């Protein structure tokens, strides 16, 4: 039996600056497990659905750290490969500089185990018997083999009627040009059922930041649900019949990285559990908000009960 939600992508070690400011002055770093699709798998599991991760890690201490963490969270690791030829990828996080409350990522992942993901890592039966397959625009940007693995996984999902969830997550440093990103990602979007994106990615993909045009364009491409994350302006979700809006929740930002994955993982879980578009969006917003209050992408991923507590709190004190 496959898990309900299967994700594909590079697991990374995140070294997060304990103090704010330029990294050249930072002397203390905290180690966390990260990687967009890894975080989604942990998020889904924390909220009570089975999840599984397809990835490669190095045969090193960081690879062991990732496996221990993900397994400890209850994610199925039967499709996590240990690659003896390449190290586990890492990245550093610089916080609060040059833009207060924003973070910058510095990758050390070229040639990493995760970037060597390839079609041979994809077991079509594993994906084909899940309910949802989730991937982001990061995975096909890693290498030609990782791109082919992504396409093979999508094929397995589509031919078995597994819902495809896709977060555009365009990381310009991983793409040589925007054109490459568009050429690679548009065919994925055509196969997507639940799409997460933001205005920064939409301008690359569609040349517009207009909400209505973004939503209509993706629905016209065959996407069932479009979710537009607009940061401090809240989030929108739309299908062919309904539209929902979630206001941003003002909060102290320690490190915004990982919010999008908490958001996606919670939205997917809520939809699979049969919740409405609106309720799924409100829950996703709460999860994304909680994650930015701490360093690390996965530590503050909420359980269902944590989200319920927040919903009560917000509805009792709507203005706080
Ligand atoms: O979404 C957060 C991720 O960006 C972070 O964990 C690192 O996966 C990562 C990436 O490739 O940027």
Ligand 1 closest atom vs CA 91: 7
Share of the chain above pLDDT 70, in %: 98
Structural domain boundaries, residue 270: 36-85+117-316
Rounded to the nearest angstrom, the distance between the alpha carbon of 108 and the centre of ligand 1 is 12
Within a domain: 94: no
Q: What are phi and psi of 271, to 5 degrees?
A: -65, -45
For residue 93, is it within any domain? no
Residue with tokens 């586990």, as numbered in its chain: 88
Instruction: Give 41-52 pLDDT, tens digit per residue.
Output: 999 999 999 999
**d(CA 219, ligand 1 centre) in Å:** 26
Cis preceding linkage at 98, omega within 30: yes
Whether residue 149 lies inside any domain: the answer is yes
Kindly state if the Cβ of 257 falls inside 6 Å of ligand 1: yes
Distance 318 CA to ligand 1 centre (A): 32
| 196: pLDDT strictly greater than 70 | yes
Is residue 320 pLDDT above 80, yes or no? no
How many domains does one find in the chain?
Answer: 1
Q: What distances in angstroms separate CA 115 from CA 48, 99, 261, one per listed residue?
A: 30, 30, 19
Indicate which residue of 261, 297, 306, 308 is catalytic: 261
Average pLDDT of every residue of the chain: 96
Does residue 290 form part of some domain? yes
Q: How many residues does the chain have?
A: 320
* Nearest CA among 116, 120, 150, 122 for reference residue 136: 150
Does ligand 1 have an atom closer than 6 angstroms to the CB of 102?
Answer: no
Active site residue 261: yes
Q: Is the pLDDT assigned to residue 319 strictly greater than 70?
A: no
Asked if residue 137 has its Cβ within 6 Å of ligand 1, the reply is no
Cβ contacts of 67 within 8 Å, gap of 6 or more? 57, 77, 80
């Amino acid at each position: 039996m496959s898990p309900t939600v299967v994700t594909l992508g590079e697991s990374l070690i995140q070294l997060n600056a304990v103090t704010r400011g330029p990294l050249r002055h930072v002397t203390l770093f905290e180690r966390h497990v990260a990687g967009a699709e890894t975080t989604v798998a942990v998020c889904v599991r924390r909220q009570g659905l089975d999840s599984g991760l397809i990835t490669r890690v190095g045969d090193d201490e960081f690879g062991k750290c990732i496996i221990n963490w993900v397994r400890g969270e209850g994610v199925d690791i039967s499709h996590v490969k240990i690659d003896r030829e390449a190290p586990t990828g890492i990245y550093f996080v610089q916080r609060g500089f040059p833009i207060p409350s924003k973070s910058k990522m510095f990758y050390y992942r070229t040639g990493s185990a995760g970037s060597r993901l390839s079609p041979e890592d994809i077991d079509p039966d594993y994906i084909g018997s899940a309910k949802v397959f989730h991937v982001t625009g990061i995975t096909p940007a890693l290498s030609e083999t990782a791109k082919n693995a992504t396409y093979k996984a999508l094929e397995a999902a589509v031919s078995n009627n597994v819902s495809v969830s896709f977060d555009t997550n365009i990381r310009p440093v991983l793409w040589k040009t925007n054109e490459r990103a568009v050429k690679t990602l548009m065919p994925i979007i055509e196969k997507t059922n639940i799409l997460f994106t933001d205005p920064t990615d939409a301008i690359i993909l569609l040349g517009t930041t207009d909400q209505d045009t973004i939503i209509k364009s993706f629905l016209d491409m065959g996407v069932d649900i479009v979710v537009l994350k607009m940061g401090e302006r809240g989030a929108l979700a739309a299908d062919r019949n309904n539209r929902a809006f979630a206001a941003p929740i003002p909060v102290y930002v320690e490190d915004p990285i990982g919010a999008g994955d908490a958001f996606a993982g919670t939205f997917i879980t809520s939809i699979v559990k049969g919740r409405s578009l609106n309720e799924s969006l409100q829950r996703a917003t709460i999860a994304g908000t909680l994650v930015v209050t701490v360093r690390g992408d996965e530590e503050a991923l909420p359980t269902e009960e944590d989200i319920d507590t927040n919903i009560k709190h917000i509805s009792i004190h709507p203005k706080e």
